[in-house]
Amino acid sequence: MIKRALLAFTLTVPLAGTAIAADTYTQTKYPVVLAHGMFGWDKMAGVIDYWYQVPQTLSKGGTRVYTTQVGGLESSEARGEQLLSQVQTILATSGAQKVNLIGHSHGGHSVRYVAAMIPSRVASVTTVGTPAQGSAVADLVMSVDAASPTAGTLAVGLLNSVNDLLKLLTGDKTVSNARNSLYSLSTKGSAEFTQRFPQGMPTTACGQGAAVVNGVRYYSWGSTSVRTNLLDPVDILFSITSLAFKGAPNDGMVGKCSSHVGVVIRDDYKMNHFDQVNQFFGLRDIFGTDPLPLYRQQGNRLKNAGL
C-alpha cells in the first residue's frame, strides 16, 4: 500500500514551477502527459530527465505537466497498458477530465494505445519521431535474428543487457524483452498494431492521418538529420543505425514518412532522434532546430484548440 501511494504521489505532482507560470502561452485546458520511448526513463539516477528541459519549458508557459515511466523494452501493447494505468491515476488524482498525450519514439505507440482505450478521457495525441509504420533499424535486427539465430540471440541479449543496466539507474522494475520491442517497432509489427489501433494513421505511405478521431485530435512531427553535434556521443550510434535506411531521409532511427500520424506539423526538422527530446543534455546543431520551442508551440497549438 505504501509503495502504491508513493507511486500515485510521484505521478500526480506537477513539476515545480507549474503553479507560477511566467506567461500563459502554453496554458492548456487539460494537463500534458509525456511518454518516453525505447530504453527510456522518467529520471535517471534521480536527476537526469529523459525529456531534458521539456517539462520545465511547458510549465513556464502555464501547462500542467506529468512525466511517466514504462518498460524500456516491451511490446507496444504491454507498454500501452502500463501507460494507461498511470494516465488513469493522473486523471483520478488531478481531477482533470482529459489529458493531452505526447509520446516520443515508441512512446508514440503507447499514447495511441491509451487514446484508443479511453478516447473520452484524451483530448489530443502528439507523436514525436515515432516509427508509426515501423523502423528499418528494427527490420534489420529482426532479419539478422531470422537468418542467424546465434547472431540474433547475441544482439537481443546485448539489448536486454543494456536495458538491465539502465534499469539500475532508472528504477524500472519491468522485465527486459528486446524481441517483443523489436517486433513491435518493425514494419510488420507496427502494421499489425495499426490494424488494431488505426486512429490517426495515414492511409497512404507518406500522407497525413485524420485530424480528429473519436473526439481526439492527432498531431505529429519528425526530423531527418543524423549527426548534429560532434560532442554528442549518441550521434555515433545514429551514424551507424542510419545505414539501415539505405539513403532514405531519417533521424537515425525513424524514416521521414514513418513518423506521420494525424496532422503532420513537419517531418524534416534538423534534429536527430535524440535531439527530439533535447538530449544529450541539449547538445545539438547550433544551426539546426531547437526542440524546446517546438514543444512550446505545440502547447500553444493545443491551447488555441481549446485543449
Active site residue 251: yes
Active site residue 161: no
Q: How far is CA 208 from CA 84, 200, 212, 264, in A?
A: 26, 8, 12, 6
CA atoms within 13 A on the CB side of 194: 22
| 125 bridge partner residues | 101, 218
Tell me whether the omega of the peptide bond preceding residue 280 falls within 30 degrees of 0, making it cis. Answer: yes
Dihedral sign computed on CA atoms, order 265, 271, 272, 277 = negative
In degrees to the nearest 10, what's the CA dihedral of 281, 37, 138, 267? -80
Tell me which of 105, 124, 220, 223 is the catalytic residue. Answer: 105
Is residue 105 annotated as a catalytic residue, yes or no? yes
- Cβ atoms within 10 Å, residue 188: 13
Of 42, 139, 172, 251, which is the active-site residue? Answer: 251
- Using alpha carbons, list the distances in angstroms from residue 252 to 32, 208, 230, 273: 27, 22, 15, 6
Amino acid at 23: D
Catalytic residue, from 104, 106, 260, 273: name it: 273
Residues with catalytic annotation? 105, 251, 273
